[in-house]
């Protein structure tokens, strides 16, 4: 193989303080690997944070690494926002050999989803109709979250994906309303 085939895996994590990125590229034995660079643009930002990256490795990034937290680094990790992260990995020549992904991070939404599940009284007995209705609503919400990720990451329709994400979060807010 004469060329590098760059690929990243960006798994969904429930830890709201980290972003995990794994290099699953196939590297050429003929071409040297030089200047590996990872650029990440966070949701709502117009500039990227550039990081050195070690090929064939994985990295766990925090708000400090992504330069949105500047104090208490190493002591306290701030939450990373949900939303679309643009992640570009390149090696020299970096303007030619690269891969770029839109990753929809839904960690906070998934934690909220699981929190609602925890509040359901699902015992060994048949649940009440009210509980069954909540279960059905949660199934619908999970489909909306999955569809949001698919729209962003697979279909390359970021606006539609964010619309679905926002709708799912609104449904969860309504379902988990404590002061309604």
pLDDT digits (tens, 9 = 90+) for 37-58: 999 999 999 999 999 899 999 9
> What does the pLDDT read at residue 126?
80
Strand order in the sheet with 58-61: 8-9, 19-23, 58-61
- For residue 111, count CB atoms less than 10 angstroms from its CB and return exposed for 0-12, middle for 13-18, buried for 19 or more: middle
Q: Where are the alpha helices (DSSP H) in the chain?
A: 107-119, 129-153, 158-175
Cα 101 from Cα 87, distance rounded (Å): 5
Cα 3 from Cα 25, distance rounded (Å): 11
Largest CA distance in the chain: 65
How many Cα atoms within 13 Å fall on the side-chain side of residue 53?
A: 32
Using alpha carbons only, give the angle 91, 97, 99 rounded to the nearest 5 degrees.
95
Domains of the chain: 8-105 (2.60.40), 108-175 (no CATH)
> What does the pLDDT read at residue 178?
62
Place of tokens 């949660």: 138
> What does the pLDDT read at residue 1?
61
Q: Nearest-CA neighbor of 109 among 86, 77, 87, 80?
A: 80
Give me the residues of the chain with pLDDT under 70, please.
1-2, 124, 178-180
pTM for the predicted model, two decimal places: 0.92
Strand order in the sheet with 49-52: 49-52, 37-41, 83-91, 97-105
């Amino acid at each position: 193989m004469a060329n590098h085939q760059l690929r990243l895996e960006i798994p969904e994590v429930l830890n709201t303080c980290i972003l995990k990125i794994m290099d699953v590229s196939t590297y050429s034995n003929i071409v040297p690997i030089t200047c590996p660079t990872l650029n990440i643009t966070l949701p709502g930002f117009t500039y990227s944070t550039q990081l050195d990256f070690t090929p064939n490795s994985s990295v766990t990034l925090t708000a400090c690494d992504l330069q949105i937290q500047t104090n208490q680094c190493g002591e306290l990790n701030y939450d990373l926002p949900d939303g679309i992260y643009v992640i570009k990995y390149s090696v020299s020549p970096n303007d030619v050999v690269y891969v770029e992904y839109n990753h929809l991070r839904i960690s906070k939404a998934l934690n909220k989803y699981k929190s609602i599940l925890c509040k359901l009284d699902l015992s060994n007995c048949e649940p009440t109709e009210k509980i069954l209705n909540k279960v059905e609503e949660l199934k619908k919400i999970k489909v909306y979250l999955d569809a949001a990720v698919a729209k962003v990451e697979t279909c390359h329709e970021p606006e539609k994906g964010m619309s679905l994400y926002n709708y799912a979060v609104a449904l969860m807010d309504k379902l988990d309303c404590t002061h309604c």
